[in-house]
Amino acid sequence: MLAVLIALLLGTWRGQDDHFPFGPFRMYSTTNDPSGRITKINFVGITEEGREITIRSGRFGMRPAEVDGQIPRIRQSPALVAHLVEAYERFNPDAPRLREFHIVYGIHRLIDRVPVAYEEQVIARWQR
């Protein structure tokens, strides 16, 4: 019992999401600045016909947070995006074939909790 209590205290003080339940689960333990920004990850495909489509992360077998957690690795090695495209095509054999795939952050800027601006930042691109 004492060991569990010590693990909880240390996890609260020095832990990360990976240490849950002995560390904080940041999704529930933090809040956004009311005059800051909120980001949302988006996946955009361009079909061979040139049509832009929005792809939900479940279409390649992952949750948005799982990809979001890999953004530092993807920025260092953009070639990793090809694995997402490969998974998309494997899980969706009847879907349109992609010519391009982009990982994009949608950035909402807030002032006193009111959205005042929106911009997009391309994190990584893949092209066939």
With a cut of 60, say whether residue 89 has pLDDT above it: yes
pLDDT digits 0-9 by tens, 55-87: 998 898 888 888 888 889 999 998 999 999 999
pLDDT digits 0-9 by tens, 97-115: 999 999 999 999 999 989 9
Chain-wide mean pLDDT for the chain? Answer: 85
Give me 37's structure tokens: 């920004």
pLDDT digits 0-9 by tens, 28-55: 556 778 889 988 999 999 999 999 999 9
pLDDT at residue 30 in the model: 65
DSSP 37-86: EEEEEEEEEEETTS-EEE--GGGGT--HHHHHTTHHHHHH-GGGHHHHHH
Say if residues 106 and 40 touch (Cβ distance below 8 Å): yes
